[in-house]
Structure 1
Amino acid sequence: MAPKRTLADDLEDDFALDNDYVSDTEDAQTIVNTLEPAKASKKRKAETPAKADNTNKRVKSVATTDKPSGKGTTASKFSVPLEANDQADTWNKYMKKAHPGITDLELADHLMLPQHIYTTTPAPSDSYLEDLAKTAVSTGKSKNKVMHGAPQVLVICSSALRVIDLVKRLRPVSKRGVLKLFSRHIKISEQIKTLKTTAVDIAVGTPNRILKLLTDDALKVNRLRLVVIDCWQDDKMRVVIDMDDTRKDLFAIWQDVLLPASANPDYGFKLRLV
């Protein structure tokens, strides 16, 4: 069994729309300000040119490093694999990384297999996500009649800002509204009420809020056809499957909800890293 997980509720609820992401320029300026105090002493002013040059080189070296600041360990461009085998392997690798103490035997019960991956032949394009959603959204009647709070497409993102961006892109795909599922400025009680009274085809959210809504049975998977793991990288090169703030809740969604549901013959959803 996987080790006991702790939900990142407190951290997710504190998500700040304006402060969570800082530009590389701001990071560099912070380092410069740290290295060079505002009030330099007379002795500092008397530095030799050679020493000053060395200081400048040091500042430049630190400020332009490729290693991102903040939480998350992805330090280079993340390349999303295309083949089902490679997608499953990538998922399992990061799932093991999220649980350092887990053994291969324990992990074996939670592995994603190629059969869980949605396969597609067209090469990814700028409208790849929209095309996937269009394919998954059905206008016909589902054999699972419960529609309130039961999307056909569930997109899992790293942040509230990213959710808002993808909701705008996905609105033309469905005649029904696209639900935003994240914590900042939206009470979970309000989202539960909306899900229990609203028919929905597409929902986009962050791992922590999605996990809570699934646990409360407000968000249902009985009509689910496609789960998209959005592997977009932020300015600090972080990805949802490798961020300290998101990965444990993300893999909990898989281990505790999606994987068991995938064994139900009445459910026919697939996953795709995009």
Structure 2
Amino acid sequence: MSDSDSEGGVPLIEAAFDPTSTSKKRKAEAEPEASKDNKKAAKKAKRKEKKKQKAKEIDEDDLDQELGVNHSFERMDGQLLADYVNARTRLYGKDLSSVELEDKFISARTVQDSTSWSEPRTTDNLSAFIKRHSSTLKATPSKPAGAPHTIVVTASGIRAADVCRSLKSGLPKQGTKDLNVAKLFAKHLKLADQVAHLKKNKIDFGVGTPDRLSALLDEKALSVANLKRVLVDVSYIDQKKRGILDMKDLHEALLKFLLRKEFVGEERQGGDGLFLFY
């Protein structure tokens, strides 16, 4: 049995005779001109939306498995990035109402434009990228503790560990030395230990996964007192060509983190230029 048969779909072969065709014709002839204009406008809007949606699709050729990078994000400005993220939110939230979906959308004004960066978005280039898009990377004050100027959000603990190593080796080459990079992910690291560490020590960079970063904010261990940017490691893809936006649970955890009131406020009015997508 085909899918169409089992789910009441459209039959592969249509009936040769349509008994309703005459009535349909009469209805069309009697249809007011204004109604026809409305239908034309609706069709035009639908085509426009379909074209817009198509523009957000990722080209398979942009998925560079050798470098582990999705190059498509290199061409997206703040508006296109917000549109793409929101399109993924809409895809994963098909069971949500339009109002519920809007509460999960990010605003283009919160996303910094990084299209001027022409190098591949690999870990080797990460430190230089951050330096280019930062007014300053000076060490944070000793107090309050646990208050980095930069938070980096990654797809996994393994990826976060790679990013930490990259920053520790790459930042000194950019003239930024003696910075504290904290591992803020769950893999082999207990939440209680991280809370204790953050409450006692100053950090400059916090690198972790969305769920653990949210938990540390909930525990009041991670502070946003010195925060200048939240960098989303969006270009990285794994061996299955999946990035942080390509898995529903991870995407939802990321959006929940980015839309916290600490970043954009309860009324979603703040956070201008806070998010930097790499």
TM interval, short-chain normalised: 0.5 to 0.7
Distance in 1 (CA, whole Å) between partners of 2:140 and 2:248 is 40
Q: CA deviation at 1:166?
A: 0.8
Q: 1:159 aligns with which of 140, 153, 156?
A: 156
Which amino acid counterpart does residue 84 of structure 1 have in structure 2? G
Contact 1:75 1:238 (8 Å CA) reproduced = no
> How has the CA–CA distance of structure 1 residues 219 and 133 changed in structure 2, closer, same or farther, with 3 Å as cutoff?
same
Is 1:191 the counterpart of 2:185? The answer is no
The number of aligned residues is: 198
Contact 2:111 2:272 (8 Å CA) reproduced = no
Q: 1:117 aligns with which of 106, 111, 118?
A: 111
Identical pairs, percent: 24
Contact 1:117 1:270 (8 Å CA) reproduced = yes
* Secondary structure of the corresponding residue to residue 194 of structure 2: helix
Cα deviations across residues 181-206 of structure 1 (Å, max 9, x unaligned)?
Answer: 11121110000011111111111111
* Secondary structure of the corresponding residue to residue 145 of structure 2: coil
Distance in 2 (CA, whole Å) between partners of 1:224 and 1:269 is 12
2:212 corresponds to: 209
Q: 1:260 aligns with which of 250, 265, 271?
A: 265
Contact 1:147 1:200 (8 Å CA) reproduced = no
Q: Which has the larger radius of gyration?
A: 2
Select between 204-213 and 249-258 the one with higher mean Cα deviation: 249-258
> How has the CA–CA distance of structure 1 residues 154 and 141 changed in structure 2, closer, same or farther, with 3 Å as cutoff?
closer
Contact 2:140 2:203 (8 Å CA) reproduced = no
TM (normalized to structure 2)?
A: 0.63
Contact 2:109 2:272 (8 Å CA) reproduced = no
Select between 91-100 and 184-193 the one with higher mean Cα deviation: 91-100
Contact 1:227 1:271 (8 Å CA) reproduced = yes
Select between 172-181 and 188-197 the one with higher mean Cα deviation: 172-181
Q: CA deviation at 1:94?
A: 1.7
> How has the CA–CA distance of structure 1 residues 75 and 219 changed in structure 2, closer, same or farther, with 3 Å as cutoff?
farther
* Secondary structure of the corresponding residue to residue 158 of structure 1: coil
Answer 1 or 2: higher relative contact order, Cα 8 Å, separation at least 6: 1
Q: CA deviation at 1:263?
A: 5.6
1:45-124 equivalent positions in 2, closer than 5 A: 76=60, 77=63, 78=70, 79-80=72-73, 81-120=75-114, 122-124=116-118
Show structure 1 runs of 4+ deviating over 6 A: none
Which amino acid counterpart does residue 218 of structure 1 have in structure 2? A
Distance in 2 (CA, whole Å) between partners of 1:194 and 1:141 is 16
Q: 2:145 aligns with which of 142, 145, 148?
A: 148
Runs of 5+ consecutive residues of structure 1 not aligned to the other structure: 1-73
Is 1:237 the counterpart of 2:236? The answer is no
> How has the CA–CA distance of structure 1 residues 97 and 255 changed in structure 2, closer, same or farther, with 3 Å as cutoff?
farther
Q: CA deviation at 1:256?
A: 2.8
> How has the CA–CA distance of structure 1 residues 149 and 193 changed in structure 2, closer, same or farther, with 3 Å as cutoff?
same
* Secondary structure of the corresponding residue to residue 101 of structure 1: coil
Is 1:175 the counterpart of 2:169? The answer is no
Q: CA deviation at 1:83?
A: 1.0
Which amino acid counterpart does residue 137 of structure 2 have in structure 1? S
> How has the CA–CA distance of structure 1 residues 113 and 269 changed in structure 2, closer, same or farther, with 3 Å as cutoff?
closer
Which amino acid counterpart does residue 188 of structure 2 have in structure 1? H
Cα deviations across residues 65-111 of structure 1 (Å, max 9, x unaligned)?
Answer: xxxxxxxxx99534214311101111111223333322222232343
> How has the CA–CA distance of structure 1 residues 140 and 160 changed in structure 2, closer, same or farther, with 3 Å as cutoff?
closer
Contact 2:232 2:277 (8 Å CA) reproduced = yes
Contact 2:110 2:272 (8 Å CA) reproduced = no
Cα deviations across residues 134-165 of structure 1 (Å, max 9, x unaligned)?
Answer: 243532777xx844111111111111111111
Contact 2:145 2:201 (8 Å CA) reproduced = yes
> How has the CA–CA distance of structure 1 residues 140 and 176 changed in structure 2, closer, same or farther, with 3 Å as cutoff?
closer
Which amino acid counterpart does residue 179 of structure 2 have in structure 1? R
> How has the CA–CA distance of structure 1 residues 262 and 132 changed in structure 2, closer, same or farther, with 3 Å as cutoff?
farther
Cα deviations across residues 30-76 of structure 1 (Å, max 9, x unaligned)?
Answer: xxxxxxxxxxxxxxxxxxxxxxxxxxxxxxxxxxxxxxxxxxxx995
Cα deviations across residues 215-266 of structure 1 (Å, max 9, x unaligned)?
Answer: 212112221111111120000111112214422211110223433279677x
* Secondary structure of the corresponding residue to residue 259 of structure 2: helix
1:133 corresponds to: 130
Which amino acid counterpart does residue 197 of structure 1 have in structure 2? K
Runs of 5+ consecutive residues of structure 2 not aligned to the other structure: 1-57, 64-69, 172-176
* Secondary structure of the corresponding residue to residue 230 of structure 2: strand
